[in-house]
A = this chain, B = another copy of it.
Amino acid sequence: MKIAVRRTYYGDRLCFPDPVPGAVVDVRAAHSRMLMVRSSFDREDALAHTERAIPVDLPGVLRDPAGLGELRRLHDWVHQRAHTGDLHEGCTWTSVPKQLGPPIGRPRTVWGMSGNYLRDVPDPGAGAPQHPAQPPNQRGFLKAVSSLAGPHDDIRYPAISRHIVPEIELAAVIGRRCRALSRESAMSAVAGYVVLCDIGARDIGALDNRALDRAKGFDTFAVIGPWFVTADEIPDPHKLRIRAWVNGQLRQDGSTSEMFHDIPEQLCWLSSALTLGPGDVVSTGTPPGPAPIEPGDVLRGEIEGLGVLECTVVAQADADASPYSPEDGAA
Say whether B331 contacts A43, CB under 8 Å: yes
* A contacts with B: majority SS: mixed
Say whether B324 contacts A273, CB under 8 Å: no
Does chain B have a CB within 8 A of A69?
no
> Could you mark each residue 293-331 of chain A with 1 if its beta carbon is under 8 Å from any beta carbon of chain B, else 0?
000000000000000000000000000001111101111
Question: Which residues on B sit within 8 Å (CB–CB) of A55?
Answer: 52
Question: Which residues on B sit within 8 Å (CB–CB) of A201?
Answer: 273
> Could you mark each residue 210-227 of chain A with 1 if its beta carbon is under 8 Å from any beta carbon of chain B, else 0?
111111011100000000
Does chain B have a CB within 8 A of A28?
yes
Task: List CB contacts (< 8 Å) of A216-274 with chain B.
Answer: 217-219, 269-270, 272-274
Say whether B63 contacts A45, CB under 8 Å: yes
Question: Which residues on B sit within 8 Å (CB–CB) of A322?
Answer: 40
- Residue of B49, B111, B179 near A64 (CB, 8 A) is B49
Query: How many of these chains are in the complex?
Result: 4
Say whether A211 contacts B275, CB under 8 Å: no
Say whether A217 contacts B142, CB under 8 Å: yes
Does chain B have a CB within 8 A of A8?
yes
Question: Which residues on B sit within 8 Å (CB–CB) of A60?
Answer: 48
Does chain B have a CB within 8 A of A283?
no
In whole angstroms, how far apart are the Cα atoms of A43 and B149 in the complex?
A: 13
Q: Give, as a whole number of angstroms, the nearest-CB distance from A300 to chain B.
A: 24
Residues of A within 8 A of B (CB): 7-11, 26, 28-30, 32-33, 36-37, 40-49, 52-53, 55, 60, 63-64, 90-91, 106, 108-109, 111, 114, 137-142, 144-147, 158-160, 177-180, 201, 204, 207-215, 217-219, 269-270, 272-277, 280, 322-326, 328-331
Give me the 3 closest cross-chain CB pairs, A-B, nearest first. A43-B329, A9-B29, A90-B331
Besides A10-B10, A37-B326, A45-B63, 13 other A-B contacts (C-beta < 8 A): A8-B90, A9-B28, A9-B47, A10-B28, A40-B325, A43-B331, A45-B177, A109-B146, A139-B209, A146-B277, A160-B272, A214-B269, A219-B274
